[in-house]
Chains A and B, each alone.
Chain A
Amino acid sequence: NPYAGLVNHLRAAWLSGKTRPIEYRVAQLEALGRFLDEKKQDILEATASDMGKPSFEAYFTEILLCKNEINGTLNNLSHWMKDEHVDKNLVTQLDSAFIRKDPYGVVLIIAPWNYPIHLFLVPLIGAIAAGNCVVFKPSETTKNTERLVAEMLTCYLDNDCFAVVTAGVQETTRLLENKFDYIFYLCSTSVGKIVMAAAAKHLTPVTLELGGKNPCYVSDTCDVQNVARRVAWGRFFNAGQTCIAPDYVLCSVEMQEKLMPALREAITEFFGSNPQESPDFGRIVGDKQFRRIRALLCSGRVAIGGQADEKERYIAPTVLADVLPSDPAMQEEIFGPILPIVVVANMDEAIDFINARPRPLAIYAFSCDSKVVNQVLERTSSGGFCGNDTLMHVTLTSLPFGGIGNSGLGKYHGKFTFDTFTHHRGCLHRNMGLEALNALRYPPYSQQKLGLLTATFEIKRKGMCTLL
C-alpha cells in the first residue's frame, strides 16, 4: 500500500489535535488566500497552457469565486463552529442539549480537471474550516496546474496535516484502499460508483459531485436575444467543459427558428467572427476528449459553427438543430462547446422528455411567464434549478450545490461545505440531581407509571399542549 505511510502520518497529526483550534484553521485559510493572491499569475498561466482557459474566466472561477469562499468562511467560521443549542422537551428542560460540530478526521478530496483549482480548493476550504486533515488529489489531466499545486500550494499549508497526492488512475485506486473518514469526489458517474464502493469497505461517508445532461427548456414567450445570450454564455464558458452547463435545449420548432440568429449574434458578440482567434474562448483539455466531442458533431444538422482544429484542440462554438433523441449528442454528457436543440411540441412534452431521463445536476427554464418556469420546476427533479439564466445559481453560496441520483450525492458551497465535513454530534448534558423525576422510567414497570410517563413525554398536537 504505497500511500499507507502518508495516510498514517496525517492520522498521527490528526490525533495530536493540531487542526482543531480555530486559530489554526484561520491561519491555514488565510494562507490559502495568500496563495491565490501571490500565485495568481502562475494559476492563470497554468490553466491557460493546460486548456487554453481565457484569463477572464480563469480569474473569475479559479481566483475570485475561491476568494469569496475563503472570505465567507473566515467571516463566519466562529459562528459555524459553535455548539448549536436545540429545543428541549419537558423531560430535558433543565439540561443542556446541543449539536457539537466535530471534524471527521483525515479526509480525501479528488478533484476533476475542468476547473482545476476551484474544484479542489472550495472543498478544501470547507474541510480545513471543519478542522480535518486533508489529502487532496488534483487532476492528472491538467498537468501544469497539478504541478503548480504540488509544488507551490504545499509551501503555504502545514505539510503535517495537508498533503497533495499526484496520481493517475492506478495510483488513485491504491489511494482509495486506505481508510479515510470522509471522501469528496468530483467528476464522472462511473468513477463515482467505484469511489463509493471503495468507501463502503471502510464505512466512509461520501459526497459525490457528478454530472449528467442538463436540459434547458426555452418557452415560446421569452425575450429571445437575452435568452440566446445567457444560454450561449453558459454553454460556451470554458469551451463547454462545465458540469452545470446547459447540455441541450428543448424548444418548439418556431422557437428554434428564432433562437438560431439570436445565438449566432450572441456568439459573434462574445467571440467575434472567428472564435478561434478570440482570447476569450477556451480549448478542449486533451486529445481524447477532443476526439470524443468531435464525434458528437454528426447529430442533427450543424446550424452554427462545427469547425474543429485538432492541433489546437479547438472546436468552434457550435449549435446543432433538429437533433433527435437517438443522435450521438444525446447519448452522453457533451462537456464541450456543442449545443444541440431538440424540438418538442410544448412544455408538457419537454417535461416528459426531462423526466424520462436520469436526474441531472441542473435544469434550466426560460420564459417571461413565471408560471411556466414554476411548472418546469415543480414537475421535474434535479440537483439545482435556475430560471431564466444559466450557471448563476452556483455563484450564490447560500444555496447548496449538489446532485441527485446519477448526478450525485451530498452538497457543498459556503456553509454547506463546512457542514459536509463536520459530524453533527447530538449531545445531552444532564443534571445529576432531580433523580426522583427519573423514577418514572425505572422498573418495576406499572400501568400507573406508564400513564405518568406518557403524559410527560408525549408531544400533543397543537391546541392540546402540556406544560411545554
Chain B
Amino acid sequence: MQQIVGQARAAFNSGRCRSLEFRMQQLKALERMVQEKEKEILAAIRADLHKCGPSAYSHEILGVLKELALAMDKLPSWAAPQPVKRDLLTMRDEAYVCPEPLGVVLIIGAWNYPFVLVMQPLIGAIAAGNAVVVKPSEICENTAQLVSDLLPQYLDQELYPVVTGGVPETTELLKQRFDHILYTGNSTVGKIVMAAAAKHLTPVTLELGGKSPCYIDKDCDLDVACRRITWGKYMNCGQTCIAPDYILCDPSIQSKVVENIKVTLQEFYGEDVKSSPDYERIVNKRHFKRILGLLDGQKIAHGGEADEASCFIAPTILIDVSPESKVMEEEIFGPVLPILTVKNVDEAIEFINRREKPLALYVFSNNKKLIKRVISETFSGGVTGNDVIMHFLLSTLPFGGVGNSGIGAYHGKHSFETFSHRRACLIRDLKMEVMHKLRYPPGSQKKVDWAKFFLLKRFNKGQIGLVIFALLGIVAAVVMIKNHQSVLKRKALLIVLAVQRLGWLS
C-alpha cells in the first residue's frame, strides 16, 4: 500500500495533474470509458446485484455521464481564482481565493451502487487536480474487478491507482497518509475511517446512513404519494442510503397507504415479483439473514416471502410497528417498509427529533406550510418534499449527512470544493509604506483613533453612512493639511484618495 500511495504522491508532486488541460483530458478519458464499456459495466452490476440493464443504466451510468459533462463544462470557472471584496486597508491590493488541489485523495466506495459511488467522487477529485486512490467495495466483486481493470486502461496509471481487497487491505490503506478521504458506507466503519484520518489530520467526507423517515400527511394525494414512495423504497431492493426507511402517518390512512403501495407494486413488478426482471436481489446471505430477522414478531400487511438461494425478499410492508422493535433500531437497507402511526405532525416531528439525524427526510402534504414546518423543525442531511430520492439527483444541491448520517457533502460543484483547498491570497504593493505606518509601534492614541477610523465596520451600507464617512475623511484631510503642511501633505492626499474610492467598498 505504501508503494502505491507513494507512487501516487510522487506523481502528484510532479505537478502534471495541476493543469486544466490534463484534468480535462482525464475526464474525457473517463467519459470514453463509460461510453465504450457500457455493456461490461452493466453486466458486472447485473452479476453483483441482479440489476437489469435499464435500471442499472439510469441509476449508475446516467448519473456518471451527467457529472462528467458538468465537470468538463464548468471546470474553467470552478478552478479560476475568485476575487473577494476588499476593505479600506486593502483596496489597492489583489485579494482572491485560489482553489488548489489537496494532494492524494482516497475514495472508498460502497456496494449498493458500486459504480456511481466510486465514479462520482472520482470525477470531482480529478477535476480538482488531485491524485486519487480508488478502493471499490469488495462485496461487489465483479464491479470492483471491472473498475480495477478499466481505470488503468483509460487514466494515468500512477495518479489514479485502484486498490482492491477487503477489511485487511482497507485497514492497511488507512494507515497511509492522505490529504482527504471520502468514505461511503455505514457509521461504524465511518468512525474507524475518521479515527485513522485523525492520525494524519486528514479531512474527511463521510457519506453514511440512518433511518430516513417519511411522513405522510392526511391532506395529500395518497395515490401519487404512495407511488413515489414505492419507487424510492423498493428500487435496488431497498438497498439505497436515501430510501424512505419507515413511514409515519395517521392511523386513519394506514390501510389506504398499504392498499396504494400494493397496487403500485403490482403496476411496477407484476403479479409475480420474483420473475420481474426489474426487481433486484439482496447483495449477499449475511444481509439477507439480517433483513429477514427484522420481520420477527411483526404484522406483515404485504409480502414477507423470501428465498435464501437467490437472496430474494419480496417487497414487504409492516403495519402497527412499535418504535421499540428491532426493525426500528437499525437502518433497514432492504425491501421492508414499516408503518408507524402518529396522531399528528407534532408527534411526527417529535418522533423524528428523538432519533439520530438521518441522511434524508421526506414529507408528503398538499399543505405547503406544513412541509415548511417539518423542514424547519427537524434536521437531516437533505430533504425532498412530496417525493423521495430526487434531491440526490439535483447536483446544485450539496449531498451529504449530518450527525450520525455523515460529515461533508459532494455532487457537482460541491465535489470540486470538497476536494480543493481554498487558499486565501493577498498580494500587496511594496510601496505606499506611508499607509502602513499606522500599524507600526510605537503605539499612540492618535494611531488607535486612525485604526478605528479605517477598520471599524460601524457603518451600514446605507448612503447616509457613506456620505458621513466621506465628509469625515475630507474634514480630516483638510485639518491635517492645515496643521502639518509639509510632512503630512502626502498622507492627506492619500486619505482623500481613499475617500474618493469609497465607491469600491460596498
Residues in B373-404 with C-beta less than 8 Å from chain A: 375, 377, 379-387, 390-391, 393-399, 402-404
B201 contacts A by Cβ under 8 Å? yes
The answer to whether B102 touches A404 (Cβ under 8 A) is: yes
The answer to whether B455 touches A89 (Cβ under 8 A) is: no
Residues of B within 8 A of A387 (CB): 425-428
The answer to whether B427 touches A269 (Cβ under 8 A) is: no
The answer to whether B55 touches A199 (Cβ under 8 A) is: no
Query: Distance in Å from the Cβ of B42 to the closest Cβ of chain A?
Result: 11
Quick one: CB contact mask for B427-462 with A, threshold 8 Å, 1 for yes? 111110100100111111001100110011110110
The answer to whether B426 touches A405 (Cβ under 8 A) is: no
Residues in B180-199 with C-beta less than 8 Å from chain A: 187, 190-191, 194-195, 197-199
Contact of A400 among B201, B379, B424 (CB under 8 A): B424
A432 contacts B by Cβ under 8 Å? yes
Residues of B within 8 A of A269 (CB): 440
Query: Distance in Å from the Cβ of B377 to the closest Cβ of chain A?
Result: 8
The answer to whether B430 touches A196 (Cβ under 8 A) is: no
Residues of B within 8 A of A396 (CB): 84, 86-87, 89-90, 95, 426
Interface of B is mostly: mixed
Query: Distance in Å from the Cβ of A370 to the closest Cβ of chain B?
Result: 7
Contact of A399 among B72, B366, B397, B424 (CB under 8 A): B424
A288 contacts B by Cβ under 8 Å? no
The answer to whether A64 touches B452 (Cβ under 8 A) is: yes
Chain B residue nearest in CB terms to A201:
B191
- Known A445-B278, A458-B69; contact A426-B397, beta-carbon cutoff 8 A: yes
The answer to whether B371 touches A429 (Cβ under 8 A) is: yes
Residues of B within 8 A of A163 (CB): none
A298 contacts B by Cβ under 8 Å? no
Contact of B58 among A68, A401, A423, A450 (CB under 8 A): A450
Residues of B within 8 A of A405 (CB): 103, 179, 201
Query: Distance in Å from the Cβ of B373 to the closest Cβ of chain A?
Result: 12
Residues in A204-226 with C-beta less than 8 Å from chain B: 205, 208, 210, 222-223, 225-226
B32 contacts A by Cβ under 8 Å? no
Contact of A432 among B191, B220, B406 (CB under 8 A): B220
Contact of A97 among B179, B195, B225, B394 (CB under 8 A): B394
Query: In whole angstroms, what is the CA distance A360 to B2 when docked?
Result: 24
- Known A370-B427, A383-B424, A405-B201; contact A430-B456, beta-carbon cutoff 8 A: no
Query: In whole angstroms, what is the CA distance A382 to B86 when docked?
Result: 21
Which of A52-60, A165-173, A327-335 faces chain B?
A: A52-60
- Known A91-B393, A196-B201, A426-B399; contact A388-B386, beta-carbon cutoff 8 A: no
Query: In whole angstroms, what is the CA distance A35 to B267 when docked?
Result: 66
Contact of B396 among A87, A409, A411 (CB under 8 A): A87
The answer to whether B383 touches A432 (Cβ under 8 A) is: no
Query: In whole angstroms, what is the CA distance A301 to B441 when docked?
Result: 26
Query: Distance in Å from the Cβ of A419 to the closest Cβ of chain B?
Result: 11
Residues of A within 8 A of B69 (CB): 458-461
Contact of A441 among B231, B364, B399 (CB under 8 A): B231
A174 contacts B by Cβ under 8 Å? no
The answer to whether B380 touches A425 (Cβ under 8 A) is: yes
Residues of B within 8 A of A75 (CB): 457, 460-461
The answer to whether A389 touches B426 (Cβ under 8 A) is: yes
The answer to whether A441 touches B456 (Cβ under 8 A) is: no
B409 contacts A by Cβ under 8 Å? yes
Residues of B within 8 A of A56 (CB): 441, 443-444, 447-448
Interface centre among B52, B387, B404 (most CB of A within 10 A): B387
Contact of B441 among A54, A91, A200, A459 (CB under 8 A): A54
Q: List 13 A-B contacts (CB under 8 A).
A: A197-B199, A200-B195, A200-B198, A205-B407, A281-B441, A388-B429, A392-B89, A395-B89, A399-B426, A406-B201, A426-B381, A432-B220, A438-B231
Which residue numbers of B lie inside 8 Å of A, CB to CB? Answer: 13, 52-55, 57-58, 62, 65-66, 69-70, 72-73, 84-87, 89-90, 95, 97-98, 100, 102-103, 179, 187, 190-191, 194-195, 197-199, 201, 203, 206, 208, 220-221, 224-225, 227-228, 231, 267-270, 276-279, 353, 364, 366, 368, 371, 375, 377, 379-387, 390-391, 393-399, 402-404, 406-409, 421-431, 433, 436, 439-444, 447-448, 451-452, 455-458, 460-461
Q: 7 other contacts beyond A377-B98, A401-B424, A432-B225, with CB at 8 A cut-off?
A: A100-B375, A193-B198, A281-B441, A377-B425, A427-B384, A430-B384, A450-B57
Which residue numbers of A lie inside 8 Å of B, CB to CB? Answer: 15, 17, 54-57, 59-60, 64-65, 67-68, 71-72, 75, 86-89, 91-92, 97, 99-100, 102, 104-105, 181, 189, 192-193, 196-197, 199-201, 203, 205, 208, 210, 222-223, 225-227, 229-230, 233, 269-272, 278-281, 355, 366-368, 370, 373-374, 377, 381-389, 392-393, 395-396, 398-401, 404-406, 408-411, 423-433, 435, 438, 441-447, 449-450, 453-454, 457-462
